[in-house]
């Protein structure tokens, strides 16, 4: 569960050309590969390519296959070269018989074990969606918490008897503030950390991480969304104000202030493949890291301050960069002294941290999985084109 909130600046979408990316096959790539259970598209792409996000450039699935991006255990991938000599590399697939494949599931793009909770239990809601959710008013026998088999009483919406609902709890509030001005066009974002109370209507805590020396009030932030965590499911047994909801087995304890959402049996789609994005949102930053305060690494989930509004889609791969420090040049060197640089401050170069693949996208926030890296991913790190490292 993402537990830390930061606010960062964002701007209009900046595009870059991906067609010029050079295809570089691995020197040790196989000529054929048999897909096995537990494989991922990213892992298979890394067997053939130095840059796995260029997978679509070599994938040449047979035209008779209904969905060419679905690859199943047992499929045989064969590498060939189109044109004369060693031309454009291409991968084709030989598939199992439909009867055998009907019992198998396609391999995912990312390891499901690392992202399952974010696919099934995490949601990001916009302001209107959040305000419209009904809430738990009380619990039978005036208990503080309710477990499976008990009932809770709900207000805020006319619920239909028999309807299945998900019970969610707010965790953090995502926000950003574009603080760059005409006078200070290169000013970096001010980052904040506002954890959200489950009590409906409560204000966020005042604890803040300030990356500037001045305080910025929350009124100047654009709120990106509310992250909520599904803790249980229920079934409406009686409509009214309040309505009655029976907690079904399989969840956690419910308490006053928890919210209700319509139950979605298929909350996510994994039929995507690794690829380079068509554009990079300006100042897209790492908002939070899974269960860590500040740092993350390979196979950690991160929240990104951009979503479908900025053109992000599942499967897109970005590089992650840590901003270089601002240091004072006080070295007693003839060149510095002659140039009168006594008070000069220098920005050190940004440093590449790793790659992240987007696997779940909401309107203004996305979740991504860190696929590889050479240094820890930090809160506030920025996103760039995948080949810029």
Q: Which among 262, 294, 324 is the end of a domain?
A: 262
Q: Are residues 215 and 283 in the same domain?
A: no
Please tell me the predicted confidence (pLDDT) of residue 194: 53
In a shared domain, residues 244 and 367: no
Q: Is the pLDDT of residue 197 over 50?
A: no
The number of domains in the chain is 3
Residue 83 lies inside a defined structural domain of this protein: yes
Is the pLDDT at 253 greater than 60? The verdict is yes
Q: Indicate the range of 50-59, 93-102, 198-207 predicted with least confidence.
A: 198-207
3-state secondary structure of 310: helix
Q: Is residue 11 part of a domain?
A: no
Q: Is 17 a domain residue? A: no
Same domain, 251 and 292: no
**If 0-12 CB within 10 Å is exposed, 13-18 middle and 19+ buried, where does residue 211 land?**
middle
pLDDT 10s digits, 87-98: 788 888 887 666
Question: Quick one: DSSP state of residue 249?
Answer: T
The answer on 123 and 246 residing in a single domain is: yes
Do residues 136 and 45 share a domain?
no
> Does 176 share its domain with 207?
yes
Residue 24: band (very low, low, confident or very high) from pLDDT cuts 50, 70, 90: confident
> What pLDDT shows up at residue 64?
60
> Last residue of some domain: 201, 233, 262?
262
pLDDT band at 206 (very low <50, low <70, confident <90, very high): very low
Place of tokens 């299945």: 164
In degrees, to the nearest 5, what angle opens at C-alpha 363 toward C-alphas 362 and 364?
A: 100
pLDDT of residue 205: 32
H-only helix segments in 164-320: none
Query: Does position 366 have pLDDT exceeding 50, yes or no?
Result: yes
23: in domain: no
Q: Are residues 63 and 131 in the same domain?
A: no
- Looking at residue 142, its pLDDT comes to 67
Q: What domain range includes position 232?
A: 117-262
Confidence of residue 213 (pLDDT cuts 50, 70, 90): very low
Rounded distance between C-alpha atoms, residue 307 and residue 269, angstroms: 16
User: Is residue 10 included in any domain, yes or no?
Assistant: no
- Give the whole-angstrom CA distance, residue 336 versus residue 325: 19
385/18 Cα distance (integer angstroms):
9
Position with higher pLDDT, 187 vs 299: 299
Q: Are residues 85 and 140 in the same domain?
A: no
Within a domain: residue 5?
Answer: no
Is residue 342 exposed (0-12), middle (13-18) or buried (19+ Cβ within 10 Å)? exposed
> Do the domain assignments include residue 6?
no
Same domain for 210 and 146? yes
Residue 105 and residue 122 in one domain: no
**Banded model confidence at residue 84, pLDDT cuts 50, 70, 90:** low
The reply to whether 87 falls in a domain is yes
11 with 308: CB under 8 angstroms? no
Final residue belonging to a domain, choices 86, 109, 132: 109
Global pTM? 0.81
232, 277: one domain: no
Provide the pLDDT for residue 63.
64
Do 341 and 222 reside in the same domain of the chain? Answer: no
Please give the Cα distance from 290 to 3 (Å, whole number): 7
């Amino acid at each position: 569960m993402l537990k830390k909130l930061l606010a960062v600046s964002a701007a209009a979408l900046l595009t870059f050309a991906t067609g010029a990316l050079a295809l570089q096959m691995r020197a040790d790539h196989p000529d054929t590969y048999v897909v096995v259970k537990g494989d991922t598209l990213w892992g298979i792409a890394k067997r053939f390519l130095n840059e796995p996000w260029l997978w679509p450039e070599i994938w040449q699935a047979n035209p008779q296959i209904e969905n060419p991006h679905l690859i199943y255990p047992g499929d045989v991938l064969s590498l060939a070269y189109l044109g004369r000599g060693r031309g454009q590399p291409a991968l084709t697939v030989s598939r199992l018989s439909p009867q055998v494949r009907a019992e198998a599931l396609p391999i995912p793009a990312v390891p499901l074990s690392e992202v399952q909770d974010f696919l099934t239990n995490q949601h990001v809601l916009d302001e209107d969606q959040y305000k419209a959710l009904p809430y738990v008013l009380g619990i039978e026998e005036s208990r503080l918490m309710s477990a499976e088999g008990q009932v809770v009483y709900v207000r805020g919406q006319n619920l239909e008897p028999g309807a299945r609902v998900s019970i969610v709890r707010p965790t953090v509030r995502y926000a950003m503030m574009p603080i760059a001005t005409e006078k200070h066009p290169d000013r970096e974002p001010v980052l904040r950390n506002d954890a959200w109370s489950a009590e409906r209507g409560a204000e966020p805590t005042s604890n803040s991480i300030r990356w500037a020396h001045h305080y910025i009030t929350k009124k100047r932030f654009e709120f990106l969304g509310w992250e909520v965590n599904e803790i249980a499911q229920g079934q409406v047994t009686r409509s009214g104000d309040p309505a009655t909801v029976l907690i079904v087995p399989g969840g956690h304890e419910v308490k006053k202030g928890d919210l209700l959402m319509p139950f979605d049996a298929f909350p996510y789609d994994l039929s995507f493949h690794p690829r380079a994005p068509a554009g990079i949102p300006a100042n897209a930053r790492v908002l939070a890291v899974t269960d860590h305060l500040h740092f993350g690494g390979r196979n950690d989930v991160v929240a990104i301050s951009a979503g479908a509004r900025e053109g992000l889609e599942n499967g897109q791969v970005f590089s992650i960069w840590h901003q270089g420090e601002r240091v004072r040049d006080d070295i007693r060197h003839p060149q510095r002294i002659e140039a009168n640089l006594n008070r000069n401050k220098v920005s050190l170069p940004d440093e590449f941290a790793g790659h992240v693949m987007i696997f779940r996208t909401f309107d203004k926030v996305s979740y991504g999985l860190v696929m590889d890296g050479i240094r820890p991913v930090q809160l506030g790190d920025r996103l760039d084109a995948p080949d810029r490292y």
